[in-house]
Amino acid sequence: MRRSVLTLTMAATTGLFLGGCGLAGTTGGSASTSPESQASGSSPSSLTGTVTVFAAASLKEAFTKVGQQFEALHPSVKVMFNFGPSSGLATQIAQGAPADVFASASTKNMGQVVTAGKAVSPKKFVSNVMEIAVPPKNPANITQLSDLAKPGVKVALCQPAVPCGATAAKVFTNARLPPPPVPQAHGHTALHTDAALG
């Protein structure tokens, strides 16, 4: 299998994108097939090596499961994960960190990797929407976005540098509501509050 980097990014409002490129000068491992198996057209189970995946923290549960399933199908391949904020992962890859797959929650961060020459041709993979999460029994009685601006309501948003934080800011702007003064969470992780937008 040709060594490549795949980029997976989430648009600011909806959409994930998937693309691939060569990573010149990196030292990370990658799955490959032997010349004999390529010539004989044998099954993908002949893949060997390591696949290094850089992925947004919000994808940890899903990607870990997919990685386990892939390893079960290809026992000679090891999938290694590096989960974290998309912006930080993009910076790491742009600075030379070896990655075979980049799964980002932002087209902006994916663009950074493409501009650095580390990935090309991103494609939409999946989409998502913003949601309001509340504690059990909804003690602040949050039923709509405007309720987040009510006095006394504590709201958690992601940090502005990460995709869910940037998107949350756009949601408030589009609704013509002032963003509440809120505690900030890393990635998609919410703090103990009356509500979290993400």
pLDDT of residue 106: 81
Structure pTM? 0.64
pLDDT of residue 56: 87
Sheet with 101-103, edge to edge strand ranges:
16-21, 5-10, 101-103, 49-56, 77-84
36's tokens: 């004999």
pLDDT of residue 184: 54
pLDDT per residue as tens, the chain (198 positions): 333 344 444 333 333 444 343 333 233 455 554 444 444 444 556 789 999 999 988 889 999 999 999 999 999 999 999 999 888 999 999 999 999 889 988 888 889 999 999 987 787 777 777 788 888 888 889 888 888 888 888 888 877 777 778 888 888 888 888 876 655 555 444 444 555 665
Taking a C-beta distance cutoff of 8 angstroms, is the pair 129, 145 a contact?
no
Q: Return the CATH class of domain 5-115.
A: alpha beta
pLDDT of residue 54: 92
Burial of 152 (0-12, 13-18, 19+ CB in 10 A): exposed
pLDDT of residue 66: 93
pLDDT of residue 44: 54
Domain ranges across the chain? 5-115, 132-197
pLDDT of residue 167: 82
Helix, strand and coil content of the chain, in percent to the nearest 5, comes to 30, 25, 45
